[in-house]
Amino acid sequence: MIFEQLSAGGCKSYLVGCTDTCAAALIDPEIGLIDRYLGLASRHGLRVRYLVDTHTHADHFSATRGLARQLGVPVAMHRMSPAPFVDLRLDDGDMLLVGKLRLQVLHTPGHTRDSMCLRIEDRVCTGDTLLIGATGRTDLPSGDPDALHDSLFNHLLRLDPALLVFPAHDYKGRVNSTIGEEIASNPRLQVRDRTQFSEMMRNLNLSMPSHLTEALRSNMNGAKTVAQMLAEAAAAVPFMSLAELKTRAESCPDDLIILDVRERDAYEEGHVPGAKQLPRGQLELRVNQDLPDPTRRIVVYCEFGRISTLATATLRELGFQRAVALDGGMKAWREAGYPLKAGREA
């Protein structure tokens, strides 16, 4: 078996491959590591056959949906997953065949209703059900401390104590432990009484994970994150540097349209001399009157360089094939000490 653990900010994901057949599964992949997963799979000569999330993640952005589209392979999750894009809904006791490997599903609700662990030969990927020296929290959507107690004490911890535990999180750089080690030394597992265990879990008072709402929106609906929207727009448009715009605006201003997509107040406070104002929110409504010639070169800018990237991608889609985004925004322009004009253009 090929078994690779990848870490990103405390989140762990796994590439599990069958050496005989070269089939592989990716468990809990994260969008920031997509190129690494694919690079690693090709380095080992593996073909990814399944994308598996052990549960609906609230603290990182799952790559399963995006990779499923890219690779044409199914997303597998527990059947209770709220995500509509899950291709393969699994139940307790089901197995996924990855070449000659068997990935055995254990439904272990508690951290979330759709949490599952995957037993693979001598090890178990425990998701956020069991962590090294801790357990998953139960205060996020669909969490339930009583269910977690049951999943741990009546299910997971009854497995062979020698099984290696590979969790979905570890913030201290540890790689794995075993079921036996966790039973012996995991502080939360020393509280065996169900009522006391639930009481302890209810009183952890953990802070909410950053990006909670965006992670749930993205992982439950397969929606894009804001960063993905920006990255896709940035990949679809060319950019112009601040210095290049300054030179061109001074030497041959008639060769290009400089388009400020901020609101009027910001524009009148100070804009690139000669710039025309068309707020991003009105772009599609006014584009036909304000930009009648689709063959003109258009340089688009905003305050920070993000909204202008989206606006440029929209203009390109609308047929303005020479629209480019400014690399940077008015903030960088001001900081560079480049010329500004206040009020309206004549």
Residues that bind Fe ion (CB under 5 A): 128
CA distances to 139, 206, 215 from 209, in Å? 11, 9, 9
In sequence order, what E strands does 186-306 have?
A: 239-240, 256-260, 276-277, 297-301
- At closest approach, how far in Å is the CB of 27 from Fe ion? 13
Residue among 139 and 150 whose Cβ is closer to Fe ion: 139
What the block records as the tokens of 227 is 């960063």
Residue among 126 and 177 whose Cβ is closer to Fe ion: 126
Residue among 55 and 271 whose Cβ is closer to Fe ion: 55
Cβ-count burial of 298 within 10 angstroms (0-12 exposed, 13-18 middle, 19+ buried)? Answer: buried
- How far apart (Å, rounded) are the C-alpha atoms in residues 64 and 342? 48
Which residues are CB-neighbours of 113 under 8 A, at least 6 positions away?
80, 142, 144, 147
- At closest approach, how far in Å is the CB of 169 from Fe ion? 7
Residue among 128 and 260 whose Cβ is closer to Fe ion: 128
CA distances to 95, 114, 155, 198 from 89, in Å? 11, 10, 20, 29
User: Which residue's CB comes closest to Fe ion?
Assistant: 128
- How far apart (Å, rounded) are the C-alpha atoms in residues 9 and 41? 21
Residue among 4 and 30 whose Cβ is closer to Fe ion: 30
- At closest approach, how far in Å is the CB of 57 from Fe ion? 5
- At closest approach, how far in Å is the CB of 247 from Fe ion? 51
- At closest approach, how far in Å is the CB of 123 from Fe ion? 19
